[in-house]
Structure 1
């Protein structure tokens, strides 16, 4: 067997081991990836904690892990708690609307160019007893299930998500504790595969992209939720805290916030509070305009040195391809692509013979 054949066989053997390891751990790859993103995003905080605890990695890792869990889990817990409190009332509202019909609001008549047609359609469908079920019966939402089936499915889903969250934070603790050793090993492997200069160029871009994306999406989304939540409270929106939590979560995704404050404005309009509905819609558009046109481009684009259109394509493409985790993976992929683009432009090109 020649040396090249041995190298090829060794590469195939290594690839087989990697694929087998991924196959065995595939159930936990997603929470593991979340732990990696959180670790990269909060690594400067861990370095400060390490200095506070005088170089004890276990204490520093435990403290930052607990802090991260409190920061990320508390808003989620508040939203779930508020949703659980409002679930019976919402279920009763839906059941009543389906059983007795939901009367069309009178303000539909005042909508120019089609308001009367919308009113008649509403009365013929949703306004009739069991009209809501008939309207949805052709879609998946219309496949009615009893309460025990719904609770069983929801409970199973929540249990799986809870396991994923716990596993992610356990991994986060070990990433903090062993992060320096992992970084050295990763740098050595990357330098061996693609060269030290190229590896250092790319490895420096990834943490910057992750931190900028987390700051630009999560922190800005939470700020939008808080600002609009204050507006919901002033406008007298029912369950304002729950709607604020929903707005903050949807605001993490670009153009997701309009779904939330649009639904709130529609709810106020249905209740007859037209002025409050208009005020919420205007406030939402102002907050969204400032966040998406000034704050996010500054926080993400300036840090990653990407045009915002590339950031936007990375975010939306990542969500479409990978789901929620794609919010953070997509901009990293675009950062690496743009880095490669600029690197290739700097490479010398062969001179064509004349």
Structure 2
């Protein structure tokens, strides 16, 4: 005769499971961002995985390997370009500092092109930078100790993020390879714990993450390419590097505007005021159209999430948990809006087609 579970035993089992889960979360807390990143990327590349498996049936290992390598290339190649350019700039800055200490810094040609304050800037420059003594005195004011400490902090952060990235890549490979088994287990677990409502919320979160990747990452990369071309035609220094930074900045609220202001300042310094106006108008218009039409449509379209909730999710998510919040924030808002709609609806089930109760492939 099978043993029965008493209410006290059931409560004890739940308490034990919760305690074990909390301890496991505490032990592995350093790798939670890596697991979440792997999950986000795994959801985003799922359509590609399905297409590849239709082309190569049963080749789960090959599919996972190729997609993982592609993701690594998308991340690493821009980083290599940025680091290479940064090293070149550092070498140039070092040479400039040594030359300034030896010979001073002549008044730059762009000072005369300033729309206001050129006389005052020229006078200050002549007094404090034109002679070797003045330039050396200004350079000596830099807090080298603080700079060295900041450099050590940056180096530590780079190593830490490299470890997290490596673990993310490893987790991503296994998530893609074992997607079907993982999806089936999650579906059963959610169904047992929350029923159909849990499956609908899970589907809403998945669609939100996928839409956010399309609306933030893909549109950001497209904006970066477009800005790099625009910078090159306008004569902005280092157009590829600034275009790369613009692509990354487009994923973060107000990030693209910051990069554009830097590019405009560089053009004004060169005396290319007309080019700066053109870049500002074209870049600003493109950013406005993308941010207020294409991005909300991609992020909120699949989940019918209003634009204001998309904006709150993105900005609030970035403010709370950093870059990962770009994807977590809208997903949480999508789940919240679905819960609210089902709570106030006359027929909650009618909000979601029956075919979507299970987790999407």
Q: Does 1:314 align with 2:313?
A: yes
**1:101·1:132 contact (CA, 8 Å) conserved in 2?**
no
Extract unaligned runs of 5+ from structure 2: 348-361
Q: Which moved more, 1:257-266 or 1:303-312?
A: 303-312
Distance in 2, Cα, partners of 1:42 & 1:102: 54
| CA displacement, residues 222-279 of structure 1 (integer Å, 9 cap, x when unaligned) | 1111111111111222211111111111111132101001101111212222222222
Counterpart of 2:205? 206
Question: Does 1 or 2 have the higher relative contact order (CA < 8 Å, sep 6+)?
Answer: 2
Kindly state the Cα deviation for residue 63 of structure 1 after the two structures are TM-superposed.
1.8
Q: Does 1:339 align with 2:345?
A: no
**1:314·1:330 contact (CA, 8 Å) conserved in 2?**
yes
* TM-score (normalised: structure 1): 0.84
Counterpart of 2:146? 144
Distance in 2, Cα, partners of 1:274 & 1:231: 15
- Which of 25, 28, 44 is 2:28 aligned to? 25
Extract unaligned runs of 5+ from structure 1: 349-354
Kindly state the Cα deviation for residue 97 of structure 1 after the two structures are TM-superposed.
7.5
**2:72·2:169 contact (CA, 8 Å) conserved in 1?**
yes
Counterpart of 2:323? 324
| CA displacement, residues 50-102 of structure 1 (integer Å, 9 cap, x when unaligned) | 22222122122112222222233322332222222322224545777899579
**2:208·2:299 contact (CA, 8 Å) conserved in 1?**
yes
Q: Does 1:215 align with 2:214?
A: yes
Counterpart of 1:157? 157
Counterpart of 2:286? 287
* TM-score (normalised: structure 2): 0.83
- Which of 38, 41, 52 is 1:35 aligned to? 38
**2:207·2:303 contact (CA, 8 Å) conserved in 1?**
yes
Counterpart of 2:194? 194
SS in structure 1 of the partner of residue 146 of structure 2: coil
Counterpart of 2:51? 48
Q: Which moved more, 1:74-83 or 1:32-41?
A: 74-83
Counterpart of 1:71? 74
Q: Does 1:255 align with 2:227?
A: no
Distance in 2, Cα, partners of 1:50 & 1:207: 20
**2:236·2:267 contact (CA, 8 Å) conserved in 1?**
yes
Kindly state the Cα deviation for residue 156 of structure 1 after the two structures are TM-superposed.
3.6
Kindly state the Cα deviation for residue 318 of structure 1 after the two structures are TM-superposed.
0.1
The structure-2 alpha-carbon separation of the partners of 1:296 and 1:96, relative to structure 1 and needing over 3 Å to count, comes to farther
Q: Does 1:226 align with 2:225?
A: yes
SS in structure 2 of the partner of residue 61 of structure 1: helix
Distance in 2, Cα, partners of 1:342 & 1:289: 30
**1:191·1:199 contact (CA, 8 Å) conserved in 2?**
yes
The structure-2 alpha-carbon separation of the partners of 1:102 and 1:307, relative to structure 1 and needing over 3 Å to count, comes to farther
Counterpart of 2:112? 106
Kindly state the Cα deviation for residue 133 of structure 1 after the two structures are TM-superposed.
6.9
**2:245·2:259 contact (CA, 8 Å) conserved in 1?**
yes
Distance in 1, Cα, partners of 2:127 & 2:13: 67
Supply the RMSD in Å over aligned alpha carbons: 2.9
Please give the residue correspondences for 1:166-205 in structure 2 after superposition, counting only pairs within 5 Å: 166-195=166-195, 197-205=196-204
Q: How many residues align?
A: 335
Counterpart of 1:351? none
**1:187·1:199 contact (CA, 8 Å) conserved in 2?**
no
**2:314·2:330 contact (CA, 8 Å) conserved in 1?**
yes
Q: Which moved more, 1:219-228 or 1:295-304?
A: 295-304
**2:106·2:126 contact (CA, 8 Å) conserved in 1?**
no
